[in-house]
Amino acid sequence: MSRDRDSRRLPVIATLLVGLMLTILPLPEGIEQFRPDWLALLVIFWAMQLPRTWSIGTAWIIGIILDVSYGTLLGQHALALCVIAFITVRFHLLMRVFPLSQLSATVFALLALYQFLLFWINGVAGVTAQAMDYWAPVITGTLVWPFLYMFLSGVRDRARAGA
């Protein structure tokens, strides 16, 4: 029983670790602002697919790790990830039946909300950034979403089959 449970948890944990590595990987200055929010995309996917197991608590832990690794205000990414995880869990049954184009539009809205929350928290704290630093990850994340969704659906199906 526990081996079966561990084999189902391993793909989620592995994708979250890869997402964390892709998020904190240094990139050249010109490309840095176009990095998709990998962890936000992964939180959306896993909260939509497995809402009882990987949702708000996982988003909080991932957000705290992200805050510590970036050196930002403690809790800012955690709060933003929890909000989008909550919305995803709340509407996960509806989102699962969306066609990929409509799901991509929904992911755009969730990523825009995520960046707005970060913008708002930074504004209250007096941290300034260019508008491109907030909007570029939303655009690239939306463009990456269909490919990430298809890849992670395959990973989830293989884990479910036990292969």
State the CB neighbour count (10 A cutoff) for residue 5: 10
3-state secondary structure 101-134: HHHHHHHHHHHHHHHHHHHHHHHHHCCCCCHHHH
Tokens (6 digits) for 16:
């979250």
pLDDT band with cut points at 50, 70 and 90 for residue 7: low
Name the average pLDDT for the chain.
92
Domains of the chain, residue spans: 2-161
Question: Does the pLDDT value for residue 150 go beyond 60?
Answer: yes
pTM of the full structure: 0.93
What are phi and psi for residue 90, nearest 5 degrees?
-60, -35
3-class DSSP state for residue 99? coil
pLDDT digits (tens, 9 = 90+) for 55-64: 899 999 999 9
Other CB atoms within a 10 A radius of the CB of residue 111 amount to 24
